Amino acid sequence: MAEALRELGRRIPDDIALVGYDNWDVFATTSRPPLTTVDMGLKELGRVAARRLLAAIESNPSHGLELLPCHLVIRESSAVAQVTSA
């Protein structure tokens, strides 16, 4: 998306703020500019899913939703750089 926006002459984040998800460091930090992302806590999500699966295998299934926290990792793609005066 960032490349397509650049090709259209748009500046990130000056014209358009850009936010992604997963917070995959390899991608987010090497994007131009570095990409603001939602970190969904995939390690914890995997742990919870594995525990629920093992419990179900042992005839102790769980029901309903389990909400897990996520957080926003702000990088340059959504924040205008500070302008310093001379």
Ordered by start, the domain boundaries in the chain are 2-73
Threshold 0.95, pTM exceeds: no
Q: Once rounded to an integer, what is the mean pLDDT over residues 60-69?
A: 92
Distance CA 51, CA 30 (A): 34
Whole-number Cα distances in Å, 16 to 1, 6, 33: 11, 10, 12
Q: pLDDT category, 80, cuts 50, 70, 90?
A: low
